Amino acid sequence: MAVLSVSDSAWEQWEAIVGDRIPRSVVRWFVGGTVAVHLTEALAVRRITRRAGVPDAGAYSRSALAYGFPAYFAARRTARLATG
């Protein structure tokens, strides 16, 4: 989706296959929303792991930024184990 939102040639290929049923502005909106959700998750993971005293909280935060909810749940589980 990110490539479709920024590359004109990729968008033209997509449009040739799918047509104009989905406007490019909608694709861009979804990409922006996805980025916002992942940033929010990464900030939440950083806070959770730092409060629990988990070593290398930044690694968990970067994982959440890249992978989203699975990394968030793993960080919560780790924080729960760290606090007892």
82/29: higher pLDDT: 29
Distance CA 42, CA 35 (A): 10
Neighbouring residues of 34: CB distance < 8 A, sequence distance ≥ 6: 1
The DSSP string of 40-64 is: HHHHHHHHHHHHHT-TTHHHHHHHH
pLDDT band (50, 70, 90) for residue 83: confident
7-62 pLDDT, tens digit per residue, is 999 999 999 998 888 899 999 999 999 999 999 999 999 999 999 998 888 999 99
Given a cut of 90, whether residue 82 has pLDDT beyond it is no
End-to-end CA distance of the chain: 41
CB 68 within 8 A of CB 37: yes
pLDDT at 56: 86
